[in-house]
Structure 1
Amino acid sequence: MTPVYRAALGSEFDRLHPNLQWRYGIDSTAGVAQMMTGLIESIYITAALPPPMVWYYGKRNAMPSKTSRMLPFKAGNYCYRDELGRECLAVLRTFDYSTGERHLNSVIVDGVDGFVDYFGDGPELLYPIEPSVTKDGSLLLESGPVRWLRGPKFAMRGPFVAQMKYLEGWDEEHQRFRCDATVRNPVIGEVLHYRGWFTAVDKPITMADIPDEAWPYKLIDRES
C-alpha cells in the first residue's frame, strides 16, 4: 500500500526533509508504529467558546480542552486499512496535564474524494486537508471549513467557520521535530493552538497491537 501522505502529496513527498519522509513513510504493510515523546510548550483554548462545547468535544477526544503550558506529550501513529479498503493513519495524542491525561485522537485518510482528517472518537469532526511542502522541507496541512459529523450534513460558513493549519518540521540544532497546530475563526480569531517539540522512534507491531482507540466508534464513508 502507499502511505497516506505519499499518496496525497505525490512527487512533492520527495521534497520533504528526509526525517519527515521517514516519519510519514510507513503504511499498513510496514509492521511498525511510530511512537513520539516530547513537550507541548503552549496549549490554548479561547474563552470565547461555550464551556459545554469545550467539554463535549474534549470528552470525545476531538479537541484539547484546557489551556496550559509545558506539558509532557506523547503520541502514537498507527497504520491500517479500514473496512472500505482505505489506507488510514491514526494519530493518538496524550497531553499530561497536572489534573490527569487528556487525549486528542484523529484518523487521516487519503480517500476517494480527497485527503481528510477525522477528529474524535465518534468521529465528531471532519477537516478536508490540503497538504503541501514548504521551501525548507516542512509539512504544511491547511484545511477547508470544518464539517460537523453529528446532525445534518453541512460545513460551517461565514462567522462560524473554523479552519486548521498544521506545520511540522525538523529542528536541526536540537535534532528533533517541531509541531505547530492552530484553528482560527474569522470573528474569534485563534480558537485553539498547540505547539512544541518531540522525538520519534519506530516500534514493531502486529494488527493485534493497535489500540482500540485507533478505530473510530463508527465507520464514516463521508469525505467532504
Structure 2
Amino acid sequence: MAPVYRQILGSDFDRLHPNVAWRYSIDSTSGVAQIAAGIYESVYVTPALPPPFFWHFAKRNALPSKTSRMVPFTQRHFCYRDELGRECLAVLRAFRYTTGTRNLNSLLVAGRSGLVDYFGDGPELLYPIEPSVTPSGELLLESGPMRWLGKGPKLGMRGMFSAQLKYIEGWDDARQRFRCDATVRNPVIGEILHFRGWFTATDQACTLPDIPDEAWPLDLVDREA
C-alpha cells in the first residue's frame, strides 16, 4: 500500500520539500514509526466554547486542554491497515503542559473518495481533508465542515455550527527543523483553537505488535462523509 498522502496527492506528492516527503513516506509495510519532538510556541483554545463541549472533547483526546505558550510536545506517527483494508496514519500528539500531559489523537485514512481525518479516541469527530502542496513544497491540509460522530441527536455542522481545519507543515532551511501551524475556525466564534511551533523527527523501528493501543480508535467507523 502507498502512504496515505501519496495515494491522495498522486504525482503532486513529489513536489513536497524532500524532508516533508520523507516525513510522510512511511506506510503499513515500512516497519517504522516516526517520532517527533518540539515546542508549540503558541497554543490557543477559545474561552467561548461551552464548558460541557470542552470537557467532553478534551477528555476524549480531541482538544488541547488550555491556552498556553512554549509548550513542549511529542508527535508519534504509526501506520497500519484497518479491518476495512484502508491505509491509516495514526497521529498521537502529547502536549506537555506544566500541569500535566494532554493528548490530541487523530487517525488519517485514505478513504474511498479521499482523505478522512478522525479526531479523538472514539473517534469523536470527522473531517474530510483536501491536501495540497504549496509552491514552496509545504503540505497544506484544508477541511470541509466537521461532522460529529457522537451518540444522540445529529446536529447540523454547517453554517454557524461549522468548524473547519487548516494545517500547514514545512521545512525551515535556516534552522534545519520542521514548522507546523494548525487552526480551527468557526464563522461565528472565529478561531476555536490553534497550535503552532517547530519540531525535529526521527524514524524508529516498529512492527504491528509495537503499535500502542491509543493508535487504534475504540470503534471502527466506516463513515467517511
TM-score, length basis structure 2? 0.98
CA distance in 2, matches of 1:79, 1:17: 21
- Report the counterpart of residue 205 of structure 1 in structure 2: 206
1:155-196 Cα deviation digits (max 9, x unpaired): 501111100000000000000000000000111110100000
- Report the counterpart of residue 108 of structure 1 in structure 2: 108
1:111-126 alignment, distance < 5 Å: 111-126=111-126
Runs of at least 5 residues in structure 2 that lack an aligned partner in the other structure: none
Letter of the 2:71 counterpart = L
CA distance in 2, matches of 1:157, 1:200: 36
- Report the counterpart of residue 31 of structure 1 in structure 2: 31
CA distance in 1, matches of 2:203, 2:156: 37
CA distance in 1, matches of 2:31, 2:101: 28
Q: Displacement of 1:65 after TM fit? A: 2.0
1:73-103 Cα deviation digits (max 9, x unpaired): 1010000000000000000000000110000
- Percent sequence identity is 71
Q: Does structure 1 residue 168 correspond to structure 2 residue 169?
A: yes
- Report the counterpart of residue 6 of structure 2 in structure 1: 6
1:45-91 Cα deviation digits (max 9, x unpaired): 01110112111100000111211110111010000000000000000
Deviates more, 1:47-56 or 1:140-149: 47-56
CA RMSD of aligned residues (A): 0.9
Aligned with 2:52: secondary structure?
helix
Runs of at least 5 residues in structure 1 that lack an aligned partner in the other structure: none
Q: Closer, same or farther in 2 for the Cα pair 1:222/1:54, shift >3 Å?
A: same
Letter of the 1:175 counterpart = Q
CA distance in 2, matches of 1:211, 1:111: 23
Equivalenced residues, count = 224
Q: Closer, same or farther in 2 for the Cα pair 1:132/1:220, shift >3 Å?
A: same
Q: Displacement of 1:41 after TM fit? A: 0.4
